[in-house]
Amino acid sequence: MLRAGGVLLTMQPLRRLLALALAAAVAAPAAARIRVVGSTTVSPVVAAAARILREERGLQIVVDTLGGSSGGIAALGDGRAEVAMSSRPVLPSDRERYPGVRFREVEIGRDAVALAVSRDVWEGGVRAISRDQARAVYEGRVANWRELGGPDRRIVFFNKEPGRGTWEVFAHWLYGDSDLAPLVSLPEVGSNEEARNKTRSTPGSITQLSVAWVDGRAIAALAIVGDNGQLVRPSGPSLASGAYPLARSLLLVTDGEPAAETARLIDFLVGVRGQRLVAAHGYLPLSSGSAASP
């Protein structure tokens, strides 16, 4: 490999280009490519599995996060992907839009959506939030952290884009149905990386973020104040028992029964090693939650 690189560097530019083109043509996949598109919450686990399967079985798996969960389901519906990654269930509206597609969901783990705040808010004394408070903040009726027992600072709500699984779970929690979410004008964030980085670097900010992305240092996850006044933290036990309200399934969606190679990817992820990957990325593996959750 090293020697080949050396030869490439000493070649004339045009020849080098030709050689590269030739190498690319030779390296073109012999095996079928599996295109996996969707949620940035699910993608780190699938990408890790794809790397392992590429090395061990030579499977060509391309993982892309264009458009989040809804983007993935649209890609599956249009035949631009073999597998959709989704952090929200397939909705009736999806089935309506793609009547010819037999959506088949496989759960590979569970995750919680945290209401994550920047460090200054956490250290200023805001540690928990109730549903009513969250709704007031989301709708802009509460605009300063002082009203939630925190520092005197304006609230910056980085709203996850609609269509993202994270946002769907949040809106479902606040309004029962994401279609009932009112018109708000908030700065929006797309991927989990963007939400995390902007929350980390903006004083007074809060965002909806998958717990796996909350580091507990520069950003922290608020506990939820339950209806009976007790605090529910987005962590293992309350997640497994189903007590944490903003929990959700991480799904792989296919059109009917998956083809042999695609099935191999799914089997790997629900298997022992795949579940270990799920846990390693900060999510809840199937075995721990399935006993308690319906």
Side-chain half-sphere CA neighbours of 194 within 13 A: 11
Nearer of residues 199 and 275 to other proteins, judged by Cβ: 199
Nearer of residues 150 and 289 to other proteins, judged by Cβ: 150
Cα dist. 53→105, 110, 186 in Å?
Answer: 21, 22, 41
Nearer of residues 71 and 234 to other proteins, judged by Cβ: 71
Residue 109 and residue 278 in contact, taking contact as beta carbons nearer than 8 Å: yes
Q: How far is the CB of 73 from other proteins (least distance, A)?
A: 8
The C-alpha atoms of residue 131 and residue 111 are separated, in whole angstroms, by 19
Element (H, E) at 286: helix 286-290
Q: How far is the CB of 42 from other proteins (least distance, A)?
A: 15
Kindly list the residues in this chain that would bind other proteins in the complex (CB under 8 A).
Answer: 67-68, 70-71, 74, 97-98, 154, 156, 158, 161-164, 179, 181, 183, 185-190, 194, 197-198, 201-202, 204-205
Residue recorded with tokens 């783990």: 109
Nearer of residues 127 and 164 to other proteins, judged by Cβ: 164
The strands making up 128-130's β-sheet, listed across from edge to edge, are 128-130, 223-225, 231-232
Nearer of residues 78 and 267 to other proteins, judged by Cβ: 78
Q: How far is the CB of 180 from other proteins (least distance, A)?
A: 8
The C-alpha atoms of residue 272 and residue 19 are separated, in whole angstroms, by 42
Q: How far is the CB of 45 from other proteins (least distance, A)?
A: 21
Q: How far is the CB of 74 from other proteins (least distance, A)?
A: 5
Nearer of residues 61 and 181 to other proteins, judged by Cβ: 181
The C-alpha atoms of residue 195 and residue 39 are separated, in whole angstroms, by 14
Q: How far is the CB of 161 from other proteins (least distance, A)?
A: 4
Backbone angles phi, psi at 166, to 5 degrees: -60, -45
